[in-house]
Structure 1
Amino acid sequence: MNPLAGISTQEWQVLAGPLRLRSEAERDVPRSLVASELLNDAVCSALLDELGPVIGSPSRRITASLLGKRLSFLLTGACLYAMSAYDKGLTLSLDNTYIEYGHDDGLWASSLPLRSLDAAVAPPEQREAWRLAIATQLFAGLLQPLWRSLHGVTGVSRRILWENTAVRVYSLYEKRLAKLECVATRQRCAEDFRWLTDEAPASVFGLDYNPLAHFNRPVTLLDNGTRAVRFRRTCCFYYQASNPVEYCSTCPLIRPKATR
């Protein structure tokens, strides 16, 4: 049964499949909390202390960065995919969103449960204002308070957390949405991506700059021009929580010196 009002079965399969959207009833109860609870310093600290040994992290700061990477995928993926591919708006607010942090056998097991799965359909002649509202709720209303809390508790750089977010948004639009079959839908997705990374005002993110624009550095061509990589400006510390040591494919620490 499709629990999401206004979304077709085929659309729900994508959102609930690779993008891991879930209903409230499907949440991982022992390893989840309402997003607003993470703004409490004591709750945030306890979650990070519980998660750190599970993911092999040596410090709260590194745990916060790696949790932020996972949350960036979950919180931006379904929301922006629904917005751009389906013209449907999910409510990702502090009180409607659950934060899951399950991690089993070296892999994240977390999903994105929402209390209400009702979707707002984009008004045909007011889509730009609607898009602005959806993006502002996601970034300034949800992610900015979460990143502020993780920074306050651990000291992890807010720019690391925002680049974690930016990397996930780039991947969503360049690797997933760019491959949709419908030409008109691909064009709408490309326009949304251009707006997010070029025109969206800083207020959309609750910041004094647009982090999606700031971190959108040119790609580096590798392997005789056959592979394009957009190397990060900041390191997410993944290598410090892996054994044996591994680096992300976009890690600035492995960027060829000649291209720095």
Structure 2
Amino acid sequence: MLPEPIPLPPDLTGAVTEVWALDMPRAHASEQVLPMPATEIIVNLAEPYRVHDESGSWPTPGVFRTGLRRAVVRFDNPPVLRHVAVRLPAYGPARLGLDPTDTVGTVRGALGDDLAGVAASAADPGEAARTVVEVLRAHLVPETPEVRTVRVATDALRADPARSIASLADEAGVTHKTLIARFRRVTGSTPSHLARLSAVDAVVRAIPTEGEVPSWTALIADSPFVDQSHFIRSFRQLVGLTPREYRDALVRSRYDDPRFLDGGG
């Protein structure tokens, strides 16, 4: 069964980007997941994944998250992928009472406990996804002025990753210093890091899922990168792969999303 998006109620649309259910055999025994300008929460209904990241190698709990990372994370997949996935914008964790400094690991606190209950009791991913939506609604907290600042800046970056930090601060109605401080408190990161993530993510998402992969020169033509060498440097710093290594993995992959790659396992 391919990913099944779940309709979101209006009160969640400012804090949650997407919720979907997945129930299908694995495409690859191992996969690499590129850094993204978003956080994902996985409510796993099958066997654990195994994570390989900068901190080591460990099995996933029933509920885990990935955040605004600075490197590729590799997962060893169970034979069947059966889970509910929640994608949040950079400011989304703050709307759900989560610690923004957690990037890859257990979802902690009351939200994590309630989602773990869903993982332990649900069998059907579609039904579990609808329950997850209700759990998210129950833990939603009002938007604070700090979160609003980050939301305005993040939405502007999503529309145009080339925006300068000064212009983002102007749009949010705060000083440059205040924008950076609020970003750190709300996301655990900085606007410049999110800008680089957004720029690389936009280039990667522009890669067609069928047919020949265009040249990097063509892909970055409308991006914030001034030239190919600038892109290669940023790509390698964030992704941990050279564009050539990434392209080779992309050719081997059987995913419809170029941010998910064959991990070589």
TM score, norm. by length of structure 2: 0.31
TM-score with structure 1 setting the length: 0.32
In proportion to residue count, which structure has more helix? Answer: 1
Instruction: Give the number of the structure whose residues are more often strand, by fraction.
Output: 2
